[in-house]
Amino acid sequence: MGSIPIGATMITPIHWGEHALATTLDQMLAQHEQVFLLLDENVLEFCYPKLLAICPALKKAEVIEIESGEAQKNIDIATQLWEMLTQHQATRKSLWINLGGGVVSDLGGFVAATYKRGIDFVQIPTTLLAQVDASVGGKQAIDFLDYKNQIGVFAMPKAVFIHADFLDTLPDNHLLAGFMEMVKHALILDKAYWQDLQHLQIDTVADLLPLIQRSVEIKQSVVAQDPTELGLRKCLNFGHTFGHALETLLMHSENPLLHGEAVGLGMILETKLSAHLGFLPQAEATAIIAYLEKRLAHLLPILEKIDIQALLPLLLQDKKNTNTEQISFVLLKGIGSFILDISLDANAIHAYSPQA
């Protein structure tokens, strides 16, 4: 696969920067009598005041606070939010705004998309991962029985507002988690973008903006061609089969992984698997793995301790599988090129030794 050109067709309006929040969002608010704003305690403290200063009209919104963390992305919290909407007599003309990271984007999008068969919702992502991935593309979901994103819908937000200044509030591990999704975009679809990332020096958050824009363009262009993941869009799952299993396995441990951290480790495992199966030239695999291991050096002890067999039950529950005894992977056949629907059974996983 080649690079996706800048300016490719988009299916959800993406608005950039403070001016868009001050004007376009303000206009949208004026069109809705009822506005609901979902956020967590961290966003309430660090990002909500910034947004309110830019768009004072948001004072009319009913602010709904949830606790931060993946554990909140479940049916019980969704039910509480549906109850709240019902108690406030929300209608299909109400507007729902998600201000936050991936959990808020996924959970809030799911609640809005299912309440009364769907009300308009807007994504205002405040983390790097949410800006380049979770808020873009129309996947809305909650976890079920600790399995990632098992219950969900495809529903496009009315708009996405990306403001890089929110990233100033993020700790380094959250920036790294989002950056791993950007690396994924480069590895599957854009070799030139991959080369750009090799020499990346970030002195300020503003330096990230053109890279965020490139990642959003890549994802939007894929989604425009395959909104409901029947074919091409599956490529965005590179790193996620092993990644989701790792994230789920460690969810209730003392050191749970952020989603992007798990995807980064998943890309290491799936790059090795790509080479192990003969799809990816060893020289390219070595270069990719060295790059990822350098970026994720502090997390490598996790991989060293993981028994690959412990992941099997979780891998077999992955929502991308179409056969109960086969695990479906997206693998690499070159930097910027992927191969879809590689199905392996438990025996093939048993024969795979990623620590080697």
Q: For each successive 10 residues of the chain (356 residues), what is the average pLDDT? A: 41 92 96 96 96 96 96 96 98 97 97 97 97 93 90 96 93 92 97 89 77 95 93 96 93 90 97 95 97 95 85 86 85 97 86 63
Residue 50 is predicted with a pLDDT of 96
Cα(114)–Cα(78) distance, integer angstroms: 10
Cα(158)–Cα(36) distance, integer angstroms: 14
Residue 322 is predicted with a pLDDT of 79
> What is the reported pTM?
0.90
Query: For residue 188, what are the contacts with CB-CB under 8 A and spacing of at least 6?
Result: 1, 235, 236, 238, 330, 332, 336, 337, 338
User: 256: which DSSP letter?
Assistant: P
Query: For residue 217, what are the contacts with CB-CB under 8 A and spacing of at least 6?
Result: 4, 6, 7, 8
Residue 236 is predicted with a pLDDT of 97
CA 131 to chain centre: 8
Residue 11 is predicted with a pLDDT of 75
Residue 279 is predicted with a pLDDT of 97
The tokens of 355 are what? 């620590």
**Which sequence spans correspond to the domains of the chain?**
14-169, 172-350
Query: For residue 286, what are the contacts with CB-CB under 8 A and spacing of at least 6?
Result: none
119 close to 92: Cβ distance less than 8 angstroms: yes
- CB count in 10 Å sphere of residue 3: 15
Residue 9 is predicted with a pLDDT of 42
96 close to 121: Cβ distance less than 8 angstroms: yes
Assigned CATH class of 172-350: mainly alpha
What region does 171 belong to: left with phi over 0, alpha with psi -120 to 50, or beta?
Answer: beta
Domain 14-169 bears CATH identifier 2.60.120.620: no
- Beta bridge partners, 62, equal 36
Query: For residue 46, what are the contacts with CB-CB under 8 A and spacing of at least 6?
Result: 169
Query: For residue 212, what are the contacts with CB-CB under 8 A and spacing of at least 6?
Result: 128, 131, 132, 162, 164, 182
Q: Which of 304, 306, 330, 307 is nearest to 318 (CA)?
A: 330
Name the one residue in this structure whose structure tokens are 């920036």: 175
Residue 333 is predicted with a pLDDT of 97
